[in-house]
Chains A and B, each alone.
Chain A
């Protein structure tokens, strides 16, 4: 083997090991952050209240008269309470971990993170608004919509968004 080729191979191997190590550390840090955020009442409380305010703002734009009290959006007709599971935090966190774990450049990862955070947040707001409407107009359907339909839609949305990103906006690193 040509000594130059051997040196190149060694460099490529070292670079690959470095990338795998950096990715593993980033993923571990993201998991730790996700668990910490999920268990932090102040952060989660702010997220719940913020989401409740946004949902209420959209509902009011759509002509409803809702008010926010803590993490509860209510009107004379119906009320929804935004709890930890409703924030989309876990779905977003898992999406970000999948983005970090995928072997591609940091610019692509940043794009993936932006897509995931924005996309899942937007869908979650749509979910909350729709659940309010379902609660007002089809209360008998609320349980199924909340637990069955939206749970599945969120899963397939996150998975499809990740696959779309991985297939369209990533590239294989040079050494791979």
Chain B
């Protein structure tokens, strides 16, 4: 009887909470994904603007030239005096993770609007930083991979690991940022759920005794 009560009452509320979370996420995603083609050029311009001075900082001499073309970022390499050659490009979906991040933040339960807005600002800032770091790291690692940049024996031997690590960070960034920003809200919710469940056990016993 205790088991039946456990699986029918409280978990249903959690499932409802999750269903609401998923529904809001998908709704916001659908809306924002439609706007991405308008937002992407601005986002790419911001990342390019931030990355340019950082490339100058990391490269000696600075050989990378960035060009935000609409939603894409094109990377050129200086190959001679006044001469550049296209090296690679990042397509319009490279930075799309900002949309799932926004949808996750909007869908998270238990946050007031002011706090949600602050967290959204922080989240976007952190993701822009992560994307800028990704852009720089992946270009520099590509130079290393094709022998355009000399590195130490250790980095050369572990190049695959670095490339995979950068890829994982790029993929995990929106979820990791979202977790960092909403961990407390989820902890509160899970703690409440567990307390309710714990409190439920004696009442189940009482029911069994009285029944």
Q: Which residues of chain A have a CB within 8 Å of any CB of chain B?
A: 34-36, 38-40, 84-85, 90-91, 93-94, 98, 144, 147-149, 151-152, 155-156, 158-160, 163-164, 166-168, 171-172
The answer to whether residues A39 and B190 also contact, given A148-B96, A151-B96 and a CB cut-off of 8 A, is no
Range class of the B interface residue count = 20 to 34
Q: Does B177 contact A (CB under 8 A)?
A: no
25 A–B contact pairs at CB < 8 A? A34-B168, A35-B165, A38-B168, A85-B167, A90-B171, A91-B171, A98-B179, A148-B36, A148-B93, A148-B99, A149-B33, A151-B100, A155-B100, A155-B104, A156-B22, A156-B26, A156-B103, A158-B175, A160-B18, A160-B21, A164-B14, A166-B190, A167-B17, A167-B193, A168-B15
Given contacts A94-B168, A168-B14, 10 further A-B contacts (CB under 8 A): A34-B168, A40-B160, A94-B171, A149-B33, A152-B100, A155-B175, A156-B100, A160-B22, A167-B193, A171-B194
The docked-state distance in angstroms from the alpha carbon of A83 to that of B33 is: 24
Question: B185-198: contact bitstring with A at CB < 8 Å (1 yes, 0 no)?
Answer: 01000100110000
Find out whether the CB atom of B175 lies under 8 angstroms from the CB atom of A159: yes
CB neighbours (8 Å) of B100 from chain A are 151-152, 155-156
User: B22–A167 contact, CB under 8 A?
Assistant: no
Q: How far is the CB of A167 from chain B (nearest CB, A)?
A: 4
Known: A35-B164, A38-B168, A90-B167. A168 touches B11 (CB 8 A): yes
B172 — which chain A residues lie within 8 A by C-beta? Answer: 90, 94
B163 part of interface (Cβ distance < 8 Å): yes
Q: Which residues of A contact B99 (CB under 8 A)?
A: 148, 152
Contact of A163 among B36, B163, B168, B186 (CB under 8 A): B186
Nearest CB of A to B162, in Å = 9
User: Would you list which residues of chain B between 1 and 52 have a CB under 8 Å from chain A?
Assistant: 11, 14-15, 17-18, 21-22, 25-26, 29, 33, 36
Chief secondary structure at chain A's binding surface: helix
Chain B residues contacting A85 (CB-CB under 8 Å) are 167, 171
User: Chain B: which residue is nearest A153 at the CB level?
Assistant: B26
Q: In the assembled complex, how far is the CB of residue A158 from the closest CB belonging to chain B, in whole angstroms?
A: 8
Min C-beta distance of A119 to chain B, whole Å: 14
**Contact yes or no, A167 B11, CB < 8 A:** yes
Q: Which residues of A contact B57 (CB under 8 A)?
A: none
Minimum Cβ distance to chain B for residue A38 (Å)? 4
Closest 5 interchain pairs by CB?
A39-B160, A38-B164, A147-B93, A167-B14, A39-B164
Question: What are the residues of chain B within 8 A of A148 when measuring CB–CB?
Answer: 33, 36, 93, 96, 99
A152, B178: Cα distance in complex, Å: 14
Set of chain B residues within 8 Å of A168, measured between Cβ atoms: 11, 14-15
Residue from A148, A167, A171, A172 having most chain B Cβ neighbours under 10 A: A167
- Any chain A CB within 8 A of the CB of B123? no
Instruction: List chain A residues, Cβ under 8 A from B33.
Output: 144, 148-149, 152
Whether A164 contacts B18 by the Cβ 8 Å rule is yes
Q: Which residue of B lies closest to A143 (CB)?
A: B93
